[in-house]
Chains A and B, each alone.
Chain A
Amino acid sequence: MSVPLTLLGLLEREPSYGYDLKRDYDTYFGRGKPLPFGQVYATLRRLARDGKVTGGEAEPGAGPDRKPYTITGLGAHEFDSWLMQPIEPEPHLQTVLFSKVVLALMLGRPADTYLDIQRAMHLRRMHELTEVKRTGSLMDGLLADHGLFHLEADLRWIDVTSARLHALAEMVRST
Chain B
Amino acid sequence: MTPVMNRLSASHVGRPVIAARDVYKSFGQTPALVGSTLTVQPGEVLSVMGPSGSGKSTLLHCLAGIYTPDAGEIWFDGQRLDTLSDTRRTELRRTSFGFVFQFGQLVPELTVADNIALPLLLGRVGRKAAYARVGAWLPRLGLDGLGARRTGELSGGQAQRVAIARAMVARPKVLFADEPTGSLDTLTGEMVMELLVRSAREEGTTVVVVTHEPRVAACADRHVLVRDGKVVTHAGAAVADAEVEVER
Q: Which residues of A contact B (CB under 8 A)?
A: 110, 112-114, 116-117, 119-120, 122-123, 126-127, 129-130, 134, 148, 151-152, 155-156, 159, 163
Contacts and interface: CB of A to CB of B under 8 A. Distances in A.
Nearest to B213: A152
Interface of B: 51, 194, 214-215, 217-221, 223, 225, 232-237
A123 B214 contact: yes
A155 B223 CA distance: 14
A152 B236 contact: no
B215 A110 contact: no
Contacts of B214: 122-123, 126, 151-152, 155-156
B189 to A, nearest CB: 12
Nearest to B50: A159
Which one of B218, B219, B236 has the highest number of Cβ atoms from chain A below 10 Å of its Cβ? B218
Contacts, number: 48
B223 to A, nearest CB: 5
A119 B51 contact: no
B235 A129 contact: no
Contacts of B235: 113, 116-117, 120
Contacts of B218: 123, 126-127, 129-130, 148
Contacts of B217: 123, 126
A159 B236 contact: no
Given A110-B236, A134-B194, A120 B219 contact: no
B225 A119 contact: yes
A114 B235 CA distance: 8
A65 to B, nearest CB: 45
4 closest A-B pairs by CB: A120-B234, A113-B236, A126-B218, A116-B236
A91 to B, nearest CB: 21
Contacts of A117: 234-236
A63 B141 CA distance: 54
Contacts of B232: 116
A156 B221 CA distance: 20
